[in-house]
Structure 1
Amino acid sequence: MNNNRSANNINSHYMDNKPMEIYLFIDPFCAECWSLSPIINKLQIEYGDYFTLKYVLCGNLSFWNQKGVNLGDKKNIKKLKNDHQIFPTPHLAAISIKAAELQGKKAGIRFIRRLQELLFVENADITDINVIQQCAKHVGLDIEEFIRDVYSQSSANAFQCDLKISSEMEVNEMPAMVFFNENIEDEGLKITGLYSYDIYVQLLTEMLERFPKPAEKPPLELFLSTNPIMASKDLAMIYDVPVQQIEKQMKKLQLQRKVQKINAKNGHFWKYTSGGL
């Protein structure tokens, strides 16, 4: 298994002054990748001072191409300036994530999370450019720049780079995470699938070679303001309290018109509105 970092993919000496880097391999259509989100949230809350997180797109490319855009639509092809060759845009849900990331790492993460909410909570068609555009607006992207980037060579290249990283690190199942420490010579530690939160903390501790100190969790409302759609069970896991306690708190916020309950195909969720119902 080759879990070494390519020198072309990262600058190993600059990791935001943090001793660890985690590669998170996801497919926007993968339900288990969506299920991993609250674990990633908690890991970032408690141990975010110790690592940087890099999202890498992975998945069944033949499935993405099958669900890809209509090549007869002039909007979905691009003529290269130099030789006027025409190439098909990769699957829009995937390529749009890379376009969002061009507006900053945090913008890209907000976009990924909202795209997953649209699919798994709101049952939206995230292959539809109109849905993708609304997603970009929702997370505050520059829409004109975003649409231009969706059909750009830069986004296509970034997507292909992700697929190359996935191949180099032999990521064949998802979700997957690869943990790297400061020593560039050390191989990364790969974990595939879904596990309890404690397992990820254990891996982080092993790679750090010391016990990291967890940060305090933010007040519930503050967390919801940046993660507005959450399930009770996920909030209970993040805050280490019984689900019944979270339900009680959310019902209080519901009475204050700060959250609304959403019934979705994957269960019910709470949507934070900050009194904007």
Structure 2
Amino acid sequence: MFVDPLCPECWALEPIIKKLQLEFGQYFRLKHVLSSSLTRLNINSKKIDSIAQLWEKTATRTGMSCDGNLWFDNPITAPYITSIAIKAAELQGRRAGIRFLRKIQELLFLEKQNVSNLDVLVECANSINLDTEEFLNDIHSESAAKAFQCDLKILSEMEVNEFPSLVFFNENIEDEGLKITGLYEYNVYVQIIQEMLGTKTKPNPLPPLEQFLKIYKLVASKEIAIVYDMSITEVEKKLKKWVLQQKVKAIPGKHGTFWKYIENED
């Protein structure tokens, strides 16, 4: 899975990836390969306008909230630092890297935080219980920089220049991968997995919604709607009842609501 942490389209792929992992997770392993929009390093006002517009359009079209005003209020100045930070988190385990990437996306798209700022990155590492001291050492280390360079090399070799892109490989290393660029309906990805398996496998049953929230901690109405085949109206009606029961907390975004699971202290 080729992702740019600052790309709203990659953020919009999140609900589909969650559903694929829940329904067909035993049939595939997911490897994240990071890119960084180096073109944004020398951003001028014209570029800022077009990036902000793209964010707003993506949010409106996909239902995954992101606020284009970030580019006027708190612009990202060094995007490659964000990618190196994700690689530093990954040095504490693959799952740690994935949790860190998700947290970065939440801070960026929901809270309009500058995720190339070291203080924000350390706070992010803290919030997902990484070893912060180790993370700080790794972010300045050759290991994280090399890991990111390795991702850029894979990008180049596989001629990936649009995000998100998914490349599907089967167990036979000799076979070429199947590259899918952009954002598609969930069923397209299911069809690809089933074709590669050579059988129409049945999806796993989904966990109860409360369990889903407990696993992922913070999810968008859109994520719940896609995973559970519900309308946004149905999702919000159900979750508003849970707010009253103090199971979740509603976090309004610019283009949709997010729901934070409230851990029971008992």
Query: Could you tell me which of 1, 17, 34 is aligned with 1:40?
Result: 17
Note the 1:114-263 alignment, pairs <5 A.
Answer: 114-263=103-252
Structure 1 counterpart of 2:90: 101
How much is the aligned-residue C-alpha RMSD, in angstroms?
A: 1.9
Q: CA deviation at 1:112?
A: 0.5
The 5-angstrom pairing of residues 11-90 of structure 1 reads 24-63=1-40
Q: Could you tell me the TM-score, scaled by structure 1's length?
A: 0.79
The Cα offsets for residues 161-208 of structure 1, whole Å up to 9 and x where unpaired, read as 000001111101000000000011100000011110000101111222
Query: In terms of Rg, which structure is larger?
Result: 1
- Higher-strand-fraction structure: 1
Q: Deviations over 1:229-258 (max 9, x none)?
A: 222122011012233322122112100122
Q: Deviations over 1:111-148 (max 9, x none)?
A: 10111011111111111111111111111111111110
Q: Distance in 1 between matches of 2:134 and 2:39?
A: 28
- Contact 1:229–1:272 at 8 Å: present in 2 too? yes
Q: Give runs of ≥4 in structure 1 deviating > 4 Å.
A: 64-67
Find the aligned partners of 1:90 and 1:231 in 2 and give their Cα distance: 25
Contact 1:259 1:275 in 2 (8 A): no
The one-letter code matched in structure 2 to 1:240 is: D
> CA–CA distance in 1 between the matches of 2:41 and 2:212?
33
Q: In the alignment, what sits opposite 1:21?
A: none
**Where does the alignment leave 5 or more consecutive residues of structure 2 unmatched?**
45-77
Give the letter aligned to residue 34 of structure 2: L
Q: Are the equivalent residues in 2 in contact too, given 1:118–1:124 (CA < 8 A)?
A: yes
Distance 1:164 1:266 in 2: 35
On the 8 A contact 1:205/1:212 being kept in 2, the answer is yes
CA contact (8 A) 1:263 1:269 kept: yes
Offset at residue 65 of structure 1 (A): 7.8
Percent identity of the aligned residues?
55
How big is the shift at 1:61? 2.4
Deviates more, 1:217-226 or 1:170-179: 217-226
Q: Is the 8 A contact 2:79 2:116 kept in 1?
A: no
CA distance in 2, matches of 1:122, 1:275: 25
For 1:225, the aligned partner's letter is K
